[in-house]
Amino acid sequence: MSVTQTITTPAQSYTIDITHSEVSFQVRHLLTRVRGWFSDFAGTIHFDDEHPEQSAVSLTINAASVDTNTPDRDQHLRSADFFDVDSYPTISFTSSRVVRTRANEYDVAGRLTVHGVSREITLPVSHLGTVRDPWGALRAAFEASITINRREFGLTWNPALETGLVLVGAEVQINLSIEAIAK
């Protein structure tokens, strides 16, 4: 079987492969967007394509691993003005419900916790397929994107500018590109 062929599997549990996955974000800064990512995260996925309601996801991100390619900004993001990593070292998501919306598309509802604040969100997730890699390991891939309001999670720092604009936008787009290995 070729590594590029998608295969059908029964219910399977996976561990996120951090070396082939990405948790990134973008937020408005004045008139443009700043992009960044988190380099340290872990999670599990129990995926049952035949019975998606029996699927489950958990993801934990080390908030201190935030990286925007600008060390001073990254340090500010780790401070009490934003993530306050000394008080809230992790960002987490734990699913409570998975519903198929169409072929290979799912709404994954659950609790997102950022800065000590938990809120229910629904994450639209695409299942990109399942394959065996050249070494025989079963891998599954998923992508998701959602926009949240950072203020709803207690991330309110934002100096007003004399032009009436604010420095940092309220909406943050979060993008997940996940490859996971069967346990």
Give CA separation, 1 vs 109, 126, 129, in Å.
34, 23, 14
Q: Is residue 166 a part of any domain in this protein? A: yes
Q: What is the pTM of this model?
A: 0.90
Calculate the CA 183 to chain-centre distance.
21
Structural contact between residues 115 and 153, judged by C-beta atoms closer than 8 angstroms: yes
DSSP code per residue over 62-125: EGGGEE-S-HHHHHHHHSTTTT-TTT--EEEEEEEEEEEEETTEEEEEEEEEETTEEEEEEEEE
- 62: which strand partners? 90
Is pLDDT of 59 > 70?
yes
Mean pLDDT, range 162-176, rounded to an integer:
83
Q: Which domain does 66 fall in, by range? A: 12-182
Structural contact between residues 133 and 139, judged by C-beta atoms closer than 8 angstroms: yes
Tens of pLDDT, residues 68-115 = 999 999 999 999 999 999 999 999 999 999 999 999 999 999 999 999
Q: Is residue 157 a part of any domain in this protein? A: yes
pLDDT band of 170, cuts 50, 70, 90:
confident
Q: Is residue 3 a part of any domain in this protein? A: no
Q: How far apart are CA 158 and CA 177, in angstroms?
A: 29
pLDDT band of 30, cuts 50, 70, 90:
confident
Mean pLDDT, range 14-23, rounded to an integer:
98
Is pLDDT of 9 > 90?
no
Angle (CA) 54-122-5 rounded to 5° is: 60
Q: Is residue 145 a part of any domain in this protein? A: yes
Number of domains observed in the structure of the chain: 1
CATH of the domain at 137: 2.40.128.110
Q: Is residue 151 a part of any domain in this protein? A: yes
- Specify the pLDDT at position 164: 65
Tens of pLDDT, residues 122-147 = 999 999 999 999 999 999 999 999 99
- Specify the pLDDT at position 66: 98
- Specify the pLDDT at position 167: 77
Q: Provide the percentage of residues in the chain whose pLDDT is more than 90.
A: 82
Q: Is residue 5 a part of any domain in this protein? A: no
Task: Provide the mean pLDDT of the chain.
Answer: 92
Joined together, the tokens standing for residue 123 give 């994450």
Q: Is residue 7 a part of any domain in this protein? A: no
pLDDT band of 32, cuts 50, 70, 90:
confident
- Specify the pLDDT at position 3: 45
Q: Is residue 54 a part of any domain in this protein? A: yes
